[in-house]
Structure 1
Amino acid sequence: MQIRLWNPNLKVRLLGEALFNLLFWMYFPFITVYFGAALGSHMAGLLMAVPPLFGMIGSLLGGALADRLGRRPVMLLGASLQTVMFALFAVSSSHWTDYIAFIGIGLGGAVYRPASSAMVADLVPAQNRRQIFATFMTANNIGAVLGPAIGAVFFFHYRQELLWTCAAVLLLYLIAIYFIVHETLPQSAKSTPEASLPLTRVFKDQLKGYGIIFRDKVFLIYILAGIFALIPIMQLDLYLAVYVINEVPAQPLFAWNGGSLVLSGTEIFGWLLGLNGLLFVLFVLPVTKWFRHWKERNVFILSSLLSGLGTFALGLSTNLWYLFFITVIFTFGEIVRSPVTQSFISRYAPEHARGQYMGADSLQATIGRFLAPVTVFLSGWVPPMGIFSLILAVAFLSIALYIQLFRIYVEQPEAAD
């Protein structure tokens, strides 16, 4: 589905979210370093454990409100909160105010995302959703590749200017949403009895709604499988960083005229990280197209297999080029999975509760981020191959759960189109 044929809602969002994500990755990778330098590494570590909790609350609230108030108002609310918090961060002279602003930025993004994803599902036929979601991911990951390189200069030397630029871009995006984006909430959601309830009952009723969702056996198995599938994928920024920096010796990248470019363990990790981001940008769209005829069951299983085996294989050799090759394997495990997760839940969720399901779906990443660092904790007592074996076991557990999921849930024919 070519971009020129997209609904104007999607075009505005693609441009706005791509610009914002570029700016986001200019500051986000350096936030822990920033607070660590100001407040101490131990305190920074504790502080960084709090934002995911607010993100979880924001996602659940944003998803619920998207089904009650509509997609557009919730997107406006999330973008407005982020704009205000970036401005607060820019004018702040206190590190604690900075921290509050940082939490507020994350909360605004968490409120925004379920409504944004639900809008794609509202507008795009099921057979085209994988491709549309993949296009958004490509735009976002261009920022993830370019942003840190630019931000390494701008965040530490021109932080206020960078933050004001983020606020200005979000303000322009907010104006574009207000004037161009139209509401897409399905009629079936508008006509539900809950739509006429007073605001004082929103939170109580939404909690009941999520209770019903989590009693949905298919959805619960899907969430559990996703948590275990994401743990190996998340190791790139966690145990793999520790392993490569501490265990991989310095070695030449290439040699010429009797000389060579020697990379340290830290530099090798940086190259692996850059390769991972570059592969995602270059291949998420082609890979989505290659696998468009595959059933979701097989894509989920392939993803867990590639990411689990790929991560495990990293422990078998410390050769630089071998590490590059294995990075390609586990990165493809991440790439094949990403567009399918959103297309699956957008199709599985009832039309009137699509926002709630999108919000609840974010728990995979939140809980995965909470559990994934256990590998770093255990690495003080367990040798590397023991950690890699644990990661592989978690990947196989996710495969078993996906097999069980699709035994009790039958895919609709259009999902494989």
Structure 2
Amino acid sequence: MVWRTWDLNLKVRLVGELITHTFFWMYFPFMALYFSDSFGKDIAGIMLMVPPLLGMMSNLFGGYLADKVGRKPTMLLSLCTSSVMFAIFAFSSSPVVDYLAFIGIGIASSLYWPASSAMVADLTTEEDRRVVFATFYTAMNMGVVAGPVLGSFFFVNYRFELLLICTIVELIFAASIFFLIKETLPATVRAERSKERFSITQQFKGYAVIFRDKVFALYIGAGVLVAIAFMQLDMYMALYVKEHVHDQPLMWWGDWTFTVGGTSAFGWLMGLNGLLVVLFTLPVTKWFQHWSDRNSLVISSVLYGFGMFLMAFTTNIWLLFGCMVILTLGELIRTPVAQSFISKYSPEDARGQYMGASSLQFSIGRFIAPMSISISQWLSPVGVFGIILALTLISAYLYIPLFRMIPEDGHDSAHS
């Protein structure tokens, strides 16, 4: 599926999400430092645990709204809310107000993604879906690569101006969605849902039905395990590299040597991860597009686990680069397949809710992942990385019975 054949909805949102995500990463990586300076490290650590928890609930509510009132109104609500919050953040002179605005931005962002993913699924065929999701993932990671570099200058020196531009960018994107994008929630579903009374109780009843779906519950369980491992990139792996990878030459020419170690080595590893994601998401997706969802998810979990585990046996920066290539390959295989699987498995009238519920695996994983830091006080790096490997192997194992159950539950299409 080439760009010129894409629906206008997809083109507008791809460009808009690339720009807004870049601006998001121009301020987001620096919030922990900002709140640590404002409130102290201990209090800031507790404060930063709140947004992921609220994000879980906001994701679920966003999925409910996407199926209840439509994809377009949900995205507009998200963007208008984030615009207001960015404006409050920009003009605030109080760290407490800044924190509340930061939480508001996070809640608004979590509302957006279930509707966005559901709209992609609405507009693509099963055959093209992986490639389209991979393209959106590539655009997001271009923002991840460029945003922090730009933010290291603009957030520190021009914070007010940066946040004001974020406000304007969100408003322009909202206007683009309002005037250029059409609703994709099927009219029959919209008509049926309009008869239902808006109810938080009804929302949670809907999610209770979803989580009683054994296949989906198993999918979430396997996803949580691998998400815990994914989150170690900036958790335990960061700590390991900082403490064990000492200064060493990365490049040299004659008497000239460029050395890296500790925090700088971690920066180079993360830079490689971001670069590989941007350059190879689409090629890898095309290489593996004929693999079944089951085989893709199993091999991605195994690759990620072993790529992480092998780091325990070396402190050589070039060998660590090799480990990063292995685990990033696992990430690239998994991401579009995971999004595509939910699109195929979910019923058309509950696609937004399934997307919202699916995001819980990352929220729960992000909440549990910091335990690796505590465990590292009692275990050696081989022990900690061994636990991470074990989680990914259990995840890979769970995907096998999961796909055996799918035909019995009547969702044959998910088993590609």
TM-score range, shorter chain: over 0.9
Structure 2 residue 221 is matched with structure 1 residue 224: yes
Counterpart in the other structure of 1:330: 327
Structure 2 residue 136 is matched with structure 1 residue 139: no
Counterpart in the other structure of 2:33: 33
Identify which of 300, 307, 310 aligns with 1:310. 307
Q: Deviations over 1:22-76 (max 9, x none)?
A: 1011111110001001110111100110001111111100100111101111110
Counterpart in the other structure of 2:61: 61
Q: Share of identical aligned residues, percent?
A: 52
- Cα deviation, residue 229, structure 1: 1.2
Q: TM-score, normalising length from structure 2?
A: 0.97
Structure 2 residue 354 is matched with structure 1 residue 319: no
Structure 2 residue 285 is matched with structure 1 residue 276: no
Counterpart in the other structure of 2:209: 212
Residue 59 of structure 2 contacts residue 114 of structure 2 at CA under 8 Å; is this kept in 1? yes
In 1, distance between residues paired with 2:346 and 2:47? 34
- Cα deviation, residue 258, structure 1: 2.3
Q: 1:415 to 1:396 in 2, by over 3 A?
A: closer
- Cα deviation, residue 197, structure 1: 2.4
In 2, distance between residues paired with 1:230 and 1:110? 17
In 2, distance between residues paired with 1:196 and 1:294? 41
- Cα deviation, residue 400, structure 1: 1.4
In 1, distance between residues paired with 2:260 and 2:116? 42
- Cα deviation, residue 259, structure 1: 2.9
In 1, distance between residues paired with 2:121 and 2:245? 44
Q: Equivalent residue of 1:261, what SS?
A: strand
Runs (5+) with no aligned partner, structure 2: none
Counterpart in the other structure of 1:387: 384
In 1, distance between residues paired with 2:256 and 2:57? 55
Question: Number of residue pairs matched?
Answer: 413
Query: How is 1:144-293 mapped onto 2 (pairs within 5 angstroms)?
Result: 144-192=144-192, 194-199=193-198, 202-293=199-290
Q: TM-score, normalising length from structure 1?
A: 0.97
- Cα deviation, residue 77, structure 1: 0.4
Q: CA RMSD in A?
A: 1.2
Counterpart in the other structure of 1:344: 341
Runs (5+) with no aligned partner, structure 1: none
Q: Equivalent residue of 1:255, what SS?
A: strand
Structure 2 residue 98 is matched with structure 1 residue 98: yes
Q: Equivalent residue of 1:253, what SS?
A: strand
In 1, distance between residues paired with 2:123 and 2:272? 34
In 1, distance between residues paired with 2:344 and 2:79? 26
Identify which of 373, 377, 397 aligns with 1:376. 373
In 1, distance between residues paired with 2:302 and 2:137? 22
Q: Equivalent residue of 1:311, what SS?
A: helix
Q: 1:415 to 1:283 in 2, by over 3 A?
A: farther
* Dislocated runs of 4+, deviation >2 Å: 410-416
In 2, distance between residues paired with 1:374 and 1:188? 46
Q: 1:147 to 1:244 in 2, by over 3 A?
A: same
Counterpart in the other structure of 2:48: 48
Q: Deviations over 1:343-379 (max 9, x none)?
A: 1001100000111101101100000001111111111
- Cα deviation, residue 412, structure 1: 4.1
1:242 counterpart letter in structure 2: L
